[in-house]
Structures are given as structure tokens and as C-alpha cells.
């Protein structure tokens, strides 16, 4: 029952209120091991993770800045700064990458869903360990310059930047709509 109540408390934390300590290397390894328990048609593990911690976040900030300028050479300095500040908000980022295979049996959507389930397991595991987290995308997640800077291959796609850390202040779990409107019995 305790685990079920824990699941009801799962919530995202705005990246700017995630501070040190982030999961350490061993805790992160455990979190990513739990990610790999995602359901997976064909056991193909169609994803991988890039971890970006501490000073390395400045490299991602630089890449975000380049990407923004390539998308819009006339970008305002305010917007540029806002985008470059994004990776610096939290102490640890896990980039979740879908690595899709050609398969007659496992359609792309199933592989994407599997990678998404792995990403969600990161959120569940990090909350269960007492850390805060949030799954974010935005234009930089779909930008070819960011993809090549991170070393993605042609069959790969960023599905999310998961920001991790400790909640600077405890936030209430979000209210969700009642589930009964979404349930019907058939036939």
C-alpha cells in the first residue's frame, strides 16, 4: 500500500527549484537501471541515456545558444540568455534518447513508447528516492544542431531532458482530474 500511495504523490518539480544534492553516481546508476525495466516489445532496449552533471552543463548551455542563433540569427539577447540558462537550472540532466531499430515486427511507435516508459521510470525512481525531477523538451530537443553536438546517430531522437536534483522547497502534488470520466465499460 505504501508504494501505491507513493505513486499517487508522483509529481514534477520546476527545474529552477531543483538544487544540490542531485543523485550521486551510484544513485543515478540505480535510477537508470530502473529505467531499463520499462516494458519493451522484443527486448530491444530502444533508448540510451546521456548524463550531464555540474560544469558539463555549461557545454550544453553553449550548444543551446548556438542552436537558438542558428534557428533565428536575429534572436533577442533576452531570449538567447533564457535558452542558455535552461541547462544551468538543476544540478543534473539526463538526456533520454530513443534509438530506433528497423523492424518488421516492432513498429516505431512501440519503440518510442518504450523509450517514453523508460523516461517515466526515471521520474518514478527519482521521486521514490526522495529527489525531484521534471521531463522537459522544447525546441532544443528537436534541433539538429543539438542532436549532432550530443552525438546522435540518424536513427536517434531526443525524447526529453530530465532535470534532477533536490527540491529546494516541498511542493504540493498536483491535483489531477477524476479518473471516472475517462473510464467506460465495454460492450
Give me the residues that bind ligand FMN (CB under 6 A), please.
11-12, 134-138, 160, 174
Tell me the residue number closest to ligand FMN, measured at CB.
12
Residue (98 or 134) nearer to ligand FMN, CB: 134
Residue (24 or 173) nearer to ligand FMN, CB: 173
Residue (50 or 136) nearer to ligand FMN, CB: 136
Transcribe 103-172 into DSSP letters.
-SSS-HHHHHHHHHHHHHHHHHHHHHTT-EEEEE-SGGGG-HHHHHHTT--TTEEEEEEEEEEEESS--P
Find the helix or strand (DSSP H, E) in which 48 lies: strand 47-53
Minimal distance, residue 185 CB to ligand FMN, in Å: 27
Length of the chain as a residue count: 187
Minimal distance, residue 136 CB to ligand FMN, in Å: 4
Minimal distance, residue 59 CB to ligand FMN, in Å: 20
Residue (44 or 136) nearer to ligand FMN, CB: 136
Residue (137 or 155) nearer to ligand FMN, CB: 137
Minimal distance, residue 122 CB to ligand FMN, in Å: 11
Minimal distance, residue 96 CB to ligand FMN, in Å: 9
165 contacts: CB under 8 Å, gap ≥ 6: 13, 18, 19, 20, 21, 22, 90, 91, 92, 131, 132, 133
Task: Write down the residue that cell numbers 525495466 correspond to.
Answer: 37
Amino acid at each position: 500500500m505504501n508504494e501505491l500511495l507513493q505513486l499517487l504523490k508522483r509529481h514534477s518539480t520546476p527545474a529552477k527549484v531543483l538544487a544540490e544534492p542531485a543523485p550521486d553516481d551510484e544513485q543515478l546508476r540505480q535510477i537508470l537501471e530502473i529505467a531499463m525495466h520499462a516494458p519493451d516489445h522484443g527486448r530491444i532496449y530502444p533508448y540510451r541515456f546521456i548524463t550531464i552533471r555540474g560544469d558539463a552543463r555549461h557545454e550544453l548551455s553553449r550548444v543551446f545558444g548556438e542552436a537558438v542563433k542558428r534557428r533565428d540569427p536575429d534572436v533577442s539577447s533576452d531570449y538567447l540568455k533564457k535558452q542558455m540558462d535552461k541547462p544551468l537550472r538543476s544540478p543534473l540532466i539526463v538526456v533520454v534518447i530513443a534509438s530506433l531499430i528497423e523492424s518488421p515486427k516492432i513498429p516505431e511507435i512501440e519503440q518510442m513508447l518504450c523509450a517514453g516508459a523508460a523516461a517515466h521510470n526515471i521520474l518514478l525512481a527519482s521521486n521514490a528516492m526522495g529527489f525531484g525531477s521534471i521531463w522537459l523538451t522544447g525546441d532544443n530537443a528537436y534541433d539538429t544542431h543539438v542532436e549532432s553536438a550530443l552525438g546522435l546517430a540518424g536513427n536517434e531522437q531526443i525524447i526529453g531532458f530530465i532535470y534532477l536534483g533536490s527540491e529546494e522547497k516541498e511542493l504540493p502534488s498536483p491535483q489531477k482530474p477524476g479518473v471516472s470520466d475517462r473510464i467506460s465499460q465495454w460492450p
